[in-house]
Structure 1
Amino acid sequence: MTTTRFAPSPTGYIHVGNLRTALMNYLIARKAGGTFILRIDDTDPERSKEEYVDAIKQDLEWLGLHWDKVERQSDRLDRYAEAADKLREMGRFYEAFETPTELDLKRKKQLNMGKPPVYDRAALNLSDAEKDALRAERGNGVWRFKLDHERIEWTDGILGDISIDAASVSDPVLIRGDGQVLYTIASVVDDTEMGVTDVVRGSDHVTNTATQIQIIEALGGQCPRFAHHSLLTGPLGEALSKRLGTLALRDLREQGVQPMALLSLMARLGSSDPVELRSDMAELIEGFDVNRFGAAPTKFDVQDLFPLTAKHLQSLPLTDVADAVEDAGVPADLAEPFWAMARENITTLADLKGWWELCRDGAEPLIADEDREFIAEAVALLPDGPFDGETWGTWTKAVKEATGRKGKGLFMPLRKALTGMERGPEMAALLPLLQVIRARG
């Protein structure tokens, strides 16, 4: 059975980059009728916060990305310890004691000699007595996985055939000196024991994947199918890393972005398929194919979310937005005609309040000097209320006959006088809701 996972660290709020990973894994699982696991990567007790665990769940629920089960890596530390012991017994795990400064000097020396900056495995030559002395001086060392220096190859679901020379990669640190288990081994153990069949993540993990493949094989596990999606950039190709804090999902929600707009964009961005607004999750699932995504950096512009949000809102019945209409102050008896009028003229639901204020309080008339007599004559011809959907047509016909004006010269001055704007909803729908004029009528 197809099993995927999303493994966020609860050290902050999830952002659009995280969402891309979560969504791809979710869609793969759902399309295959499989299992989607939410796995909380909380092995770092210093930085992991329960408030972020709750926030991750809230964000995924807002988007409709419902998981089948939750796992927490902090509950599985004994499993990682057993895996570490197994690697030690196999001679594939060794303790190293270099300080960050010493490692940096080694890297610089190798680069100056034209060599790749790879850890030189000096720790493998330490005697037991030397290790004891270093522990006494510096504390426990880090534990590194000893790579077999051979080519690591796999067929990537997005990048195609990958081949990496393990000799060009440093033996990865799997356990820090303070005992903290790092993602590289925790993820391998979890993926193996939880039966994860497909892993989609960012292309910055390609080298990490290569080392994990060797760890999986060393522990006797089955390698999942890997796919590495492109990284997002800003609209001009700039790095998003410094802006991700402003692209947290909860910030987008606060700005009024609708879930289906965000999902529709992220499910196609960087693929060979055009971005199209989908009406529901079933459509997204049906049309998803990870193999249609490309390797090139993918431009993301947050502004693209707002036309999609507007289009989505236009498709909704009142029942889906009733709370927002009520929150804008619209009386229940006017909610239906108000929504019918406003929905074509909003970008987010927050815009409803402005349209209701116009209906309730009116607007500062926008009248050119040459139109003042015309407007005065037109207002005198306004029929008695209450107004309905026919009032605008009846009134403008009478004004046309009385003044001889027609077309834009007739309609635009009336719109500007009534709304203070040159553009907006159909006046036939808006006029019955303009309470100041209706009260006059």
Structure 2
Amino acid sequence: MVTTRFAPSPNGSLHLGHAFAALVAHDLAREAGGRFLLRIEDIDGARSRPELAEEFRADLAWLGLEWAEVAPQSARLADYAAAADRLRAEGLLYPCTCTRAQIAASARETGPEGPVYPGTCRGRGAPAPGVPVAWRLDVAAALARTGPLEWVDALAGPQRADPARLGDVVLVRKNEPASYHLAATLDDAADGVSLVTRGRDLFAATHVHRLLQALLGLPVPRWHHHPLLIDDATGTKLAKRRNSPSLADRRHAGEDGAALAAALRGHRFPAGISLGQRLHRGT
């Protein structure tokens, strides 16, 4: 059975890009007679606002979606800690004290997620007691253990896993229980997600997630990296930090959620989408 999920973080209201992502996940599951899950990713420190989870549910219902809700990330902290402990015990994690500014200044190359960490702290050992650390995955050591890996995207086809292009990614943040890479990989396995749907901007992250699945003995899903909605005015993807118009505002203004969903569904699988401001104007 196909199981998909929509996993928003309650650090800002949902916008059209989120609606598009939720519709893709929902419809792919329903077309296959499967399950569509809602998971709240609420471990973003002080930025997480619990009251937004109820707003998200109202937005999805307004779009006409039906879902089963699973445990939020805040209820899974023990699972993240156990996985990190396992990788640490196997010598695959090392502590890092570097700041973003230090990494940007010392990076020798830029990858899909920005400056690639040059391995400054690899092999240094434990820092002084009380010094905040992040825990990074030693990707070279991990790949030496797993050997070559592959994964399949429904739109782009078979892929050879290449996690090294992102460098030694953080799996446990300095002030948070887990990074996106570790938490999302564990959550999808625990929830039985068999088709991971998300935007093309996260395509590169999947190379890391495939490596984590191999290291932790997790099932391997298929992926579907869909196009992104683009703001016609700026040429950039819709984002919370750019104050893209929220679904809640549209809903409270009396806009027809079913009609909006139908408009988004009409543009689900093209090579590229440029609909942000046009849909914002209600055309």
* Both proteins in one fold, TM over 0.5: yes
Distance 1:96 1:250, change over 3 A: same
Partners of 1:140 and 1:304 lie apart in 2 by 43
In 2 relative to 1, CA 220–111 (structure 1 residues): closer, same or farther, beyond 3 Å? closer
Q: Deviations over 1:382-426 (max 9, x none)?
A: xxxxxxxxxxxxxxxxxxxxxxxxxxxxxxxxxxxxxxxxxxxxx
Aligned residue for 2:219, secondary structure, equals: coil
> Structure 1 counterpart of 2:197, which letter?
V
**Are residues 1:11 and 2:8 paired?**
no
Q: Distance in 2 between matches of 1:121 and 1:240?
A: 31
Contact 2:2–2:195 (8 Å) recurs in 1: yes
Query: Can you list the C-alpha shifts for 1:11-41, whole angstroms capped at 9, x where unaligned?
Result: 1111111111111111122222222211000
Work out the CA distance in 2 between the residues paired with 1:94 and 1:246.
38
Task: Show the 5 A alignment for 1:285-296.
Answer: 293-296=269-272
- Specify which of 153, 162, 165 is matched with residue 165 of structure 1: 162
For 1:175, give the aligned amino acid. Answer: V
Considering Cα pairs closer than 8 Å and 6+ residues apart, tell me whether 1 or 2 has the greater RCO.
2
Deviation, 1:118, is: 2.7
Paired letter, 2:248: R
Tell me if the contact between 1:236 and 1:299 (Cα under 8 Å) persists in the aligned partners.
Answer: no
AA of the residue aligned to 1:32: A
Matched to 1:124, the amino acid is: R
Distance in 1 (alpha carbons) for counterparts of 2:64 and 2:236: 28
Corresponding position of 1:87: 87
Q: 1:117 and 1:239, CA in 2 relative to 1: closer, same or farther beyond 3 A?
A: closer
- Once the two structures are superposed, residues 281-318 of structure 1 have per-residue CA deviations (whole angstroms, 9 ceiling, x without a partner) of xxxxxxxxxxxx244344334448745xxxxxxxxxxx
Q: Tell me the residue number matched to 2:263.
A: 265
- 1:118–1:151 CA distance, 2 compared to 1 (3 A): farther
1:97 is aligned to 97
**Displaced runs of 4 or more, over 4 A:** 149-152
Q: Deviations over 1:171-227 (max 9, x none)?
A: 111111124322211111111111110111011101111111101111101111101
| Equivalent position amino acid for 1:299 in 2 | L
The SS at the match of 1:227 is strand
- Cα distance, 1:132 vs structure 2: 3.6
What is the number of residues matched between the two proteins? 274
Whether the 8 Å contact between 2:137 and 2:169 is mirrored in structure 1 is yes
Q: Residue 134 of structure 2 aligns with which residue? A: 142
User: Counterpart in 2 of 1:234?
Assistant: 231
Cα distance in 1 between the residues matched to 2:262 and 2:68? 22
Q: Which runs of 5+ in 2 are unaligned?
A: none
Structure 2 equivalent of residue 250 of structure 1: 248
Q: 1:184 aligned to 2:196?
A: no
Structure 1 residue 224 corresponds to structure 2 residue 216: no
The CA deviation at 1:96 is: 1.2
8 Å contact from structure 2 (residues 196, 224) kept in 1: yes
Contact 2:161 2:211 in 1 (8 A): no
How far does the alpha carbon of each residue in 1:59-96 deviate from its partner, in whole angstroms, 9 at most, with x for none? 11112212122321101100111111111122222211
> Shift in Å at residue 101 of structure 1?
2.6
The Cα of 1:152 is off from its aligned counterpart by 5.2
Whole-Å Cα distance in 2 between the matches of residues 103 and 173 of structure 1? Answer: 12
Instruction: Output the amino acid matched with 2:174.
Output: G
Residues 44 and 176 in structure 2, CA contact (< 8 A), matched pair in contact too = no
Change (3 A) 1:178 1:306: closer
Q: 1:26 to 1:154 in 2, by over 3 A?
A: same
1:239-388 equivalent positions in 2, closer than 5 A: 239-241=236-238, 245-269=243-267, 271=268, 293-303=269-279, 306=282
Conserved 8 A contact 2:238-2:276: no
Q: Counterpart amino acid of 1:194?
A: D
Q: CA RMSD in A?
A: 2.5
Counterpart in 2 of 1:275? none
What is the deviation of 1:151? 6.2
Change (3 A) 1:81 1:26: same
1:68/1:242 CA distance change after superposition, 3 Å? closer
Deviation at 1:100, TM superposition (A): 2.4
CA contact (8 A) 1:151 1:166 kept: no
Q: Which runs of 5+ in 1 are unaligned?
A: 272-292, 308-441
C-alpha contact (below 8 Å) 1:146/1:171 kept by paired residues: yes
Q: Which amino acid letter does the alignment assign opposite residue 220 of structure 1?
A: G
Give distance in 1, aligned partners of 2:190 and 2:169: 21
Equivalent AA in structure 2 for residue 268 of structure 1: G
Change (3 A) 1:50 1:5: same
The answer to whether the Cα contact below 8 Å between 1:262 and 1:305 also exists between their aligned partners in 2 is no
C-alpha separation in 1, matches of 2:265 and 2:50: 29
Q: TM-score, normalised by structure 1?
A: 0.57
Please say if residues 16 and 246 of structure 2, whose CA atoms lie closer than 8 Å, have aligned partners that are also in contact: yes
Q: Aligned runs of 1:404-415 on 2, under 5 Å?
A: none
| AA of the residue aligned to 2:71 | E
